[in-house]
Amino acid sequence: MITKEDVLNALRHVEEPDLKKDLVTLNMIEDIKIDGENVSFTVVLTTPACPLKGLIENACRNAIAHFISAEAVVEVKMTSRVTTQKNQPLTNIQNIILVASGKGGVGKSTVSANLALGLSKTGAKVGLIDADIYGPSIPIMFGLEGTKPFAVEVEGKTKIVPVEKYGVKVLSIGFFTDPDQPVPWRGPMASNAVKQLFNDAEWGELDYLVVDLPPGTGDIHITLSQTYPVAGAVIVTTPQNVALADTKKGIGMFMMNSINVPLLGVVENMSYFSPAELPQNKYYIFGKGGGRTIAEQFNAPFLGEIPLVQSISEAGDSGEPVILQENNPLSEAFISVAEKVAQQISIQNAREVKEV
């Protein structure tokens, strides 16, 4: 007769590849049911975006077959509970992800939009803050130009309600400014406006809150990093030397002692040009491999290459980010970036728990 103990003992042989501990020690096994030869249980992953889902499921099946019985009929249910950063004061927001770049125009907003949607596609609850005070482009990318969010009263306080589009809750500094009027932001004024998007909004429960920062290094970066415990920063760069030089400065800022934000990794955007009529051709017009080299220099994960393709810019301009297109290799490239970011956060959170 198979017992729950047998199942747990077998699953002690399955290691979570990123967290380097077995699934039982990590409390990832729940709801074990046994009926004769039928065994079922749930594996609780640390993110729905887990790229190792299939691998872990197979390892569980093999462990039951090997350590209990090859005759057992195994049902593995996969679910997830996103782990949280320690000391997170915004109790309903589990992980804040900053998306930054050394230079402007490298595709930071494009990556932010597709990253938020990629995380949401895998089943996570996701919010997106557009904190790019110099050129908020998220309203255009989400087809939300001219949108004015509602306000609600929550426990006697007025709160802004983020606008929900494609399953992601969005707030942009652009919802509160006139697109035709320049706003001469003073440093503290800009930081306070961005902080309001965090504190004075009714976000509800979020697994991930992606923040599209202004380009470069400035007040907003410092204020946010020092006010909220940020899960980490995703750095977007293009492969040219001029972009890479500024990228190093951007990364350097997050690594300063007073800021100390973990690097979740580097995304190289506009890695090569592929014409629509010859999609298999790759032209490395800005040089090759710069993003990967920078990631290696800072000992950070390389999260992927995104080509320069007309449809990415068209999708952004038309308010439907490219990741929404099914069976498009570009969508897959962005989903892979989202999975790797979620994976890095899980690793980071597991490390923090150990250190507490």
Ligand X SMILES: Nc1ncnc2c1ncn2[C@@H]1O[C@H](COP(=O)(O)OP(=O)(O)OP(=O)(O)O)[C@@H](O)[C@H]1O
Binding stretches for ligand X (CB under 6 A) = 101, 104-110, 132, 135, 137, 215, 269-270, 306, 308-309, 312-313, 316
Q: What is the DSSP letter of 216?
A: S
Looking at the Cβ atoms of 132 and 320, the one nearer to ligand X is: 132
Residue 268 sits at φ, ψ, to 5 deg, of: -95, 115
Contact 90, 198 (CB under 8 A): yes
165 is in an annotated binding site: no
Own/partner long-range contacts of 41-44 (Cβ < 8 Å, ≥24 apart): 41/7, 41/11, 41/75, 41/76, 41/77, 42/76, 42/77, 42/78, 42/79, 43/76, 43/77, 43/78, 43/79, 44/79, 44/80, 44/81
Give the helix/strand (H/E) hosting 135. Answer: none
Instruction: Kindly state the smallest distance separating residue 59's Cβ from ligand X, in Å.
Output: 36
Output 48 or 250, the one with its CB closest to ligand X. Answer: 250
Shortest Å distance, C-beta 330 to ligand X: 8
Start-to-end CA distance of the chain, whole Å, equals 41
Q: How far is the CB of 195 from ligand X (least distance, A)?
A: 20
Minimum separation from the CB atom of position 22 to ligand X (A): 40
Nearest approach in angstroms of CB 319 to ligand X is 11
Tokens standing for residue 240: 């040219």
Is 289 known to sit in a ligand binding site? no
Token pair in block for residue 249: 């400065």
Task: Pick the closer one to ligand X by CB: 123 or 135.
Answer: 135
Helix or strand run (H / E) with residue 43:
strand 38-45
Separation between Cα atoms, residue 125 and residue 130, nearest integer Å: 17
Question: Which of 107/118 has CB closer to ligand X?
Answer: 107
Distance (Å, rounded) from C-alpha 115 to C-alpha 270? 16
Residue 74 or residue 294: which is nearer to ligand X going by CB?
294
Angle at the Cα of 263 from the Cα atoms of 260 and 134, rounded to 5 degrees = 85
Which residue's CB is nearer to ligand X, number 55 or number 242?
242
Quote the least distance from Cβ 238 to ligand X, whole Å. Answer: 9
Task: Pick between residue 137 and residue 343 the one whose CB is nearest to ligand X.
Answer: 137
- Residue nearest ligand X by beta-carbon distance: 104
Report whether 109 belongs to an annotated binding site.
yes
Q: Is 102 assigned to a binding site?
A: yes
Residue 108 in marked binding region: yes
Residue 41: beta bridge partners? 76
Closest approach of ligand X to the CB of residue 150, in Å: 27
What is the residue-wise DSSP string for 7-38?
HHHHHTT-EETTTTEETTTTT-EEEEEEETTE
| Positions at the binding site for ATP | 102-109
